[in-house]
Amino acid sequence: MAVKLYTCGLTWCKIDAHHCHRVRKALDDAGVEYEIVTGPLSRSKRQHIEEISGQKYYPVIQLESGAVYRE
Neighbouring residues of 46: CB distance < 8 A, sequence distance ≥ 6: 39, 40, 56
The pLDDT tens digits for 6-60 are 998 887 777 777 888 899 999 999 999 999 999 888 888 899 899 999 989 899 9
- Would the pLDDT of 71 be above 70? no
Instruction: State the DSSP code for 45.
Output: G
Report pLDDT for 36: 93
pLDDT reading at 1 higher than 90: no
CA distance 28 to 23: 9
Which segment of 22-26, 60-64, 67-71 scores lowest on mean pLDDT? 67-71
